[in-house]
């Protein structure tokens, strides 16, 4: 998910900041180590049962070192969540480039499954938390999900522009439904051992069902 | 949700057991008191943060009295979950009786929202837990959800039988999608303050979108 530039891997996480001195670079590495330990523990235990103490232990640090980087568990979870959603967005966008609307969306969302199936428990912990979190945490996490729903909406809008979909498609409604269905399918992966072989035709059938009434009459 | 028979309210929960002596009746009341306290605490804190200790406190009992009725927190949660799903099923079925498929489903699912909006945090806690629970707990909770998805499937099958829907509708796929969408909408209630006025037209639009390609050509 981290797009690593091979020549300078240690400055990857700094979002365009040009150069880091040794101390700054160490800080970035520490932060990433904490994030990685947090990802692993949230995936193992879910949000509530994960403790800062055990995250610190997983990162080989003191809790003080964790708190030097993150105010509390909620902020740490949010950073992991943001990282995950950014990666998912990049993968979905990257794969949703060719063909008709249905193909673009099916390929994009399948790429999303591809990326997250190897850390499915983290996805589960994230969806679980999205259902039971304080209002302000929801507002923030929603800001990270919005671009993903918008990516679906853009694919639909392109379909409208190109005359493949009807002019009166309720893009917001359809995009949100597709997103909800996409997320719901992770349950089959989690509890029915569905792999990419099952998820791929399934999301395609669902997209077909949702979109077929929205196709422009040819 | 409990369908109370006014003459003998204390034996309502016993599922058709004919008569209770005084001691048995007291046991049933105790069990229900624990369940009600558990419902309240799960709704307030979610599954993980709720403790048997505080559930017992809420019921005005010792933890020993709680453990005399339920083996552990997971079993207690499951009993609350089962009670909720049974009530939801009764309400959905009760309202999904008249009109065309779309009307039946829209009325049924709207009745479901009606019933659960006044204890929305409990629904949220339940959905959250459904995403992050042990495999065996999932298997059991799924058994309580299955009749609900089947109720949706039956409405679809009736539509096929009566010639309203196409003969080749993938009933299992469509029913599951409708269920997933129905559940996903609770998020709008939880975090966007949607009430029944917003949810009713929304689920109808979604049903329309899902079903319109499945209508038999008239």
Instruction: Locate the domains of chain B by residue range.
Output: 9-67, 73-214
pLDDT digits (tens, 9 = 90+) for B36-55: 999 999 999 999 999 999 99
Asked if pLDDT for residue A9 goes beyond 50, the answer is no
Mean pLDDT of A26-53: 94
Structure-model confidence comparison of residues A199 and A27, the more confident one: A199
- Inter-chain residue contact B131 with A124, CB threshold 8 Å: yes
Mean pLDDT of A17-42: 90
What's the CA dihedral at A21, A25, A27, A30 to 10 degrees? -160
Which of A131, A173, A191 lies closest to B127 in CB terms?
A131
Distance CA B175, CA B155 (A): 9
Question: What percent of chain A shows pLDDT beyond 90?
Answer: 84
Residues of A in contact with B132 (CB under 8 A): 46, 121, 124-125, 128
CA distances from B138 to A110, B74, B121, B193 (A): 25, 11, 20, 29
Query: Any idea how long chain A is?
Result: 218
Q: Which of B175, B156, B176 is nearest to B166 (CA)?
A: B156
Q: What are phi and psi of A60, to 5 degrees?
A: 70, 40
Q: How does residue B89 score in pLDDT terms, banded at 50, 70 and 90?
A: very high
* A-B Cβ pairs (cutoff 8 Å, strict): 83
Quote the mean pLDDT of chain B.
91
Structure-model confidence comparison of residues A7 and A16, the more confident one: A16
Tokens matching residue A6 = 């091979």
Q: How far apart are the first and last CA of chain A?
A: 40
Cβ-in-10-Å burial (0-12, 13-18, 19+) of A167 comes to: exposed
Q: What is the largest CA-CA distance in chain B?
A: 64
pLDDT digits (tens, 9 = 90+) for B130-171: 999 999 999 999 999 999 999 999 999 999 999 999 999 999
Q: Which of B53, B24, B59 is nearest to B39 (CA)?
A: B59
Residues 156-215 in B contacting A (C-alpha not used; CB under 8 Å): 170, 173-174, 177, 180-181, 183-184, 187, 190-191, 205-206, 209-210, 212-214
Tokens matching residue A55 = 């995250």
Which of A125, A181, A206 lies closest to B132 in CB terms?
A125
Query: With the C-alpha atoms ordered B172, B178, B180, B182, is the resulting torsion angle positive or negative?
Result: negative
pLDDT digits (tens, 9 = 90+) for A108-135: 999 999 999 989 999 999 999 999 999 9
Contacts 24+ apart (CB under 8 A), B14-20: none
Per-residue pLDDT at B1? 40
Is any Cβ of chain A less than 8 angstroms from the Cβ of B129? yes
Per-residue pLDDT at B164? 96
Asked if pLDDT for residue A16 goes beyond 70, the answer is no
Is any Cβ of chain A less than 8 angstroms from the Cβ of B134? no
Residues of B in contact with A129 (CB under 8 A): 128
Q: How does residue A218 score in pLDDT terms, banded at 50, 70 and 90?
A: low
Q: One fold for both A10-70 and A74-214? A: no
Topology of domain A74-214, per CATH? Tetracycline Repressor; domain 2 (1.10.357)
Per-residue pLDDT at B217? 79
Mean pLDDT of A29-58: 95
Closest chain B residue to the Cα of A136, Cα to Cα: B191
Residues of B in contact with A170 (CB under 8 A): 205, 209
Q: Which residues pair with B165 in a beta bridge?
A: B215
Mean pLDDT of B102-128: 96
Q: Which of B164, B132, B123 is nearest to B1 (CA)?
A: B123
Topology of domain B9-67, per CATH? Arc Repressor Mutant, subunit A (1.10.10)
Per-residue pLDDT at A98? 87
Distance CA A56, CA A31 (A): 11
Per-residue pLDDT at B146? 97
> How close is the nearest chain A Cα to the Cα of B8, in Å?
37
Mean pLDDT of B25-42: 94
Q: What is the ipTM of this complex?
A: 0.88
- CATH of region B73-214: 1.10.357.10
Question: What percent of chain B shows pLDDT beyond 70?
Answer: 91
Residues of B in contact with A120 (CB under 8 A): none
Asked if pLDDT for residue A11 goes beyond 80, the answer is no
Distance CA A80, CA A74 (A): 10
Tokens matching residue A38 = 């947090």
Is any Cβ of chain A less than 8 angstroms from the Cβ of B130? yes
Residues of A in contact with B124 (CB under 8 A): 131-132
Quote the mean pLDDT of chain A.
91
Tokens matching residue B65 = 């009295």
Which of B48, B184, B214 lies closest to A184 in CB terms?
B184
- CATH of region A10-70: 1.10.10.60
Cβ contacts of residue B116 below 8 Å, gap of 6+? B84, B88, B122, B123, B186
Which of B48, B121, B183 lies closest to A49 in CB terms?
B48
Structure-model confidence comparison of residues B60 and B16, the more confident one: B60
Mean pLDDT of A91-113: 95
Residues 9-68 in A contacting B (C-alpha not used; CB under 8 Å): 46-49
Q: Which of A212, A210, A188 is nearest to A199 (CA)?
A: A188
Closest chain A residue to the Cα of B128, Cα to Cα: A128
CA distances from A127 to A85, B47, B119 (A): 12, 15, 20
Cβ contacts of residue B128 below 8 Å, gap of 6+? A128, A129, A131, A132, B46, B47
pLDDT digits (tens, 9 = 90+) for A155-212: 999 999 999 999 999 999 999 999 999 999 999 999 999 999 999 999 999 999 999 9
Structure-model confidence comparison of residues B74 and B14, the more confident one: B74
CA distances from B64 to A113, B24, B26, B31 (A): 46, 18, 16, 13
């Amino acid at each position: 998910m981290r797009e690593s530039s091979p020549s300078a891997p240690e400055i990857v996480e700094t979002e365009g900041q040009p150069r880091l001195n040794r101390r700054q670079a160490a800080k970035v590495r520490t932060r990433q180590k904490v994030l990685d330990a947090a990802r692993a523990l949230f995936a193992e235990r879910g949000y509530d049962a994960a403790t800062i103490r055990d995250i610190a232990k997983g990162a080989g640090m003191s809790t003080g070192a964790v708190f030097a980087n993150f105010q509390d568990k909620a902020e740490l979870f949010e950073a992991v969540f943001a990282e995950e959603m950014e990666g998912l967005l990049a993968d979905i966008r990257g794969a949703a480039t060719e063909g008709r609307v249905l193909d673009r969306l099916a390929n994009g969302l399948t790429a999303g499954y591809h990326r997250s199936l190897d850390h499915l428990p983290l996805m589960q912990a994230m969806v679980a938390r999205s259902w039971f979190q304080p209002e302000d945490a929801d507002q923030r996490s929603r800001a990270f999900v919005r671009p993903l729903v918008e990516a679906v909406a853009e694919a639909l809008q392109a379909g409208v522009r190109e005359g493949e979909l009807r002019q009166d498609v309720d893009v917001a409604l359809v995009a949100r439904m597709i997103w909800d269905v996409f997320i719901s399918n992770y349950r089959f992966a989690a509890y029915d051992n569905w792999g990419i072989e099952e998820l791929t035709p399934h999301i395609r059938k669902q997209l077909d069902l949702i979109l077929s009434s929205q196709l422009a009459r040819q």
